[in-house]
Amino acid sequence: MLQTKVITQKRMNIKVKNLFILSMCIAYLINFFMKWNIFSYYIVSLSIVVFLICLEAAKTLPRLFSIMMLLSGIVLNIFKGDVMEGTANGLLVNLPLLCLVILVPLLSIPFKIGGYFHSIHFYMERMAHDLKTMFGTITLLLFCIGPMLNIGSIRILHETIRDIELEPEFLAKSYLVGFSTVVLWSPYFSSVALVLYYLDVPVLQYLPLGLALAFIQLIFGNLLFYLWLKNKKQSDKIKEDTIIEENENKEKYHRKKMMDLLFVLIFLSGLLFLLEYVTKLPMIYLVSLFSITYPVIWSITKRKRNEFVFHIKEYIENSIPKMNNEIVLFISAGLFGNALAGTTFADGIKLFLTETASMSFLLFIITVVIIILVFTFIGVHPVVVVTALVSQMDADMIGTRPEVLALLIMISWSMSAILSPVNPLNLVVSESIDKPGLSVGLRWNGFYVLLMFVVGAAFIYLIH
Kindly write down the DSSP assignment for every residue of 402-451, as one continuous string.
HHHHHHHHHHHHHHHHHH-TTSHHHHHHHHHHT--HHIIIIIHHHHHHHH
At residue 3, the pLDDT reads 55
List the Cα angle 426/428/431 in 5-degree steps: 105
List the Cα angle 136/138/142 in 5-degree steps: 120
Residues 6+ away with beta carbon under 8 Å from 76: 336, 339, 340, 343
Residues 6+ away with beta carbon under 8 Å from 127: 133, 134, 137
Coil, helix or strand for 188?
coil
At residue 402, the pLDDT reads 94
At residue 12, the pLDDT reads 66
Q: Is 23 exposed, middle or buried (0-12, 13-18, 19+ CB in 10 A)?
A: middle
Nearest to 214 by CA among 464, 411, 449, 430: 411
Q: Where are the alpha helices (DSSP H) in 280-401?
A: 283-301, 305-314, 324-340, 344-359, 361-377, 382-390, 395-398
At residue 233, the pLDDT reads 52
Go through 78-117 and write b for each residue having 16 or more CB atoms within 10 A of its CB, e for each that does not. eeeebeeebbbbbbbbbbbbbbbbbbbbbbbbbbbbbebb
Nearest to 387 by CA among 94, 7, 47: 94
CA distance 181 to 106: 22
At residue 235, the pLDDT reads 45
Go through 377-388 and write b for each residue having 16 or more CB atoms within 10 A of its CB, e for each that does not. beebbbbbbbbb
Nearest to 401 by CA among 188, 187, 184, 205: 205
At residue 239, the pLDDT reads 42
* φ, ψ for residue 200, nearest 5 deg: 55, 50
Nearest to 187 by CA among 197, 178, 179, 177: 197
User: Quick one: angle between helices 168-185 and 131-149, nearest 10?
Assistant: 40
Nearest to 87 by CA among 104, 75, 100, 95: 75
At residue 172, the pLDDT reads 93
- The enclosing H or E element of 143 equals helix 131-149
CB atoms within 10 A of CB 374: 12
At residue 452, the pLDDT reads 95
CA distance 394 to 352: 12
DSSP state of 321: G
User: Quick one: angle between helices 361-377 and 382-390, nearest 10?
Assistant: 150
CB atoms within 10 A of CB 319: 16
Query: Which residue positions in the chain have pLDDT lower than 50?
Result: 234-246
The model carries a pTM of 0.82
Residues 88, 94, 96, 102: what is their CA dihedral angle, to the nearest 10 degrees? -110
Q: Where are the alpha helices (DSSP H) in 150-247?
A: 152-161, 168-185, 190-199, 203-231
Amino acid (one-letter) located at 225: F
